[in-house]
Amino acid sequence: MSSPPSSLNAATTKAFAHIDLDGHDLPPSPAPSSPSNGRKYALATELVYTDSKDQYGASSMPIYQSATFKQTSAGGGNEYDYTRSGNPTRTHLERHLAKIMNARRALVVGSGMGALDVITRVLRPGDEVITGDDLYGGTNRLLTYMATNHDIVVHHVDTTNPDTVKAVVSPKTTMVLLETPTNPLIKIVNLPSIAKLVHETNEKALVVVDNTMLSPMLCNPLDLGADIVYESGTKYLSGHHDIMAGVLAFNDPAIGDKMYFTINSTGCGLAPNDAFLLMRGIKTLAIRMEKQQTNAQTIAEFLENRGFRVRFPGLKSHPQYDLHWSMARGAGAVLSFETGDVQLSERIVEAAHLWGISVSFGCVNSLISMPCQMSHASISAATRKERQMPEDIIRLCVGIEDVNDLIDDLSRALVQAGAVTVTLDGFHAKGPARALAQIPIEESDAAAAPS
């Protein structure tokens, strides 16, 4: 895992300012800083291990809080010249991310949506994008913006069924944008099958995966056939909800060059202070994720055992349990459940104390939210209805607190909201929540899927 020679970095930093966004006459890509074959240890070890050569041997890469860098000659040419183009703290983070994401190259920007913006800038009028019918509200909003303002054609299909994707892939398909598990319905998407069928039909189409729900701790979409993987670094990677960040990773040097060109041109690269905080967060990813997943599993089982319909890939009842585990090393820590009644869900959410009513996930603190009113509110009510998104769905994003405290707080909220019948033996979902639990998830999802 040696660093690339400084002359290479300097060449790419300077040359990128003059190349065509369409990728013509690209200079050679920088040498992969930490290619996947540079990994020596188990992922938990690699998350904390770095071999950066700081001049003073600092064990934590310092924050190079400098906008510009002195050059040694009038022609410039030093490794760094200007932080928009490159910064040592950011480079250190990018090399570390490339290593843990099994990528040849990673880049970091100011938010997860910023990462998707960089990716979608390759689209041209008339290009077609295929994506899911259950996807993050911000992603839906950006794609809608592209469709409205840049004449991009967006197909929202049931990506849990590769055949529905196959039916719409064509020579015009430029991008297939997937997330698994989907947010907030926790449906699983068969990444290898879709990547294969897309590339067989149209070898130029880019398969792009939002891996925010799993993080590199649990899934490496590049190994499953994706061309680009991106994540919100605001979530599991940083883990403390104290920064916004976006991460992009690739194996194809030409894709990396294009994305770097856009980042340098638009100035959306991650600031040094945030790069430092993201790097610090990544070091505890394994231990946080382990605890969050264990807590999430306990809570999912707790709710299911009390008669709620729960969506979580750690439950055997999840209709795509086997598919999820064929691609991922864990279930993650986001689950959702339905009550069948919007007002009842609101009362549950508002009765919780320990669970913060907040958007986002992946943080050490546990969060509760109603996606249709919060994270996915930017999807119009009409579109939510068309896609049959359950307005009552509650999303739980599980943190690292003591699980008994989390269960106590949730139990109290369920009782206070009137969602359960209390007996001497405990309590059980009642009314619409109980009725809903009788309908298997696959049946209601099949009814919801667009034909």
Ligand X SMILES: N[C@@H](CCSC[C@H](N)C(=O)O)C(=O)O
Active site residues: 84, 136, 210, 235
- The least CB distance from residue 45 to ligand X, in Å, is 29
User: Which residue is associated with the tokens 């990018």?
Assistant: 94
Give strand pairing partners of 223.
none
Give strand pairing partners of 175.
129, 206
Q: What are phi and psi of 427, to 5 degrees?
A: -145, 165
What region does 442 belong to: left with phi over 0, alpha with psi -120 to 50, or beta? alpha
- The least CB distance from residue 375 to ligand X, in Å, is 4
- As a whole number of angstroms, the distance between CA 290 and CA 172 comes to 42
Q: What is the DSSP letter of 269?
A: B
- The least CB distance from residue 380 to ligand X, in Å, is 13
306 vs 376, beta carbon nearer ligand X: 376
- The least CB distance from residue 437 to ligand X, in Å, is 25
340 vs 371, beta carbon nearer ligand X: 371
Residue 173, H or E segment: strand 173-179
Nearest to 132 by CA among 89, 205, 190, 74: 190
378 vs 411, beta carbon nearer ligand X: 378
Residues in the site for ligand X, rule: CB under 6 A? 136, 138, 183, 359-361, 375, 378
- The least CB distance from residue 181 to ligand X, in Å, is 12
8 A C-beta contact, residue 196 and residue 227: no
Question: Sign of the C-alpha dihedral, residues 277, 42, 259, 148?
Answer: negative
193 vs 378, beta carbon nearer ligand X: 378
Rounded (10°) angle between helices 342-351 and 403-417: 130
8 A C-beta contact, residue 71 and residue 80: no
250 vs 361, beta carbon nearer ligand X: 361
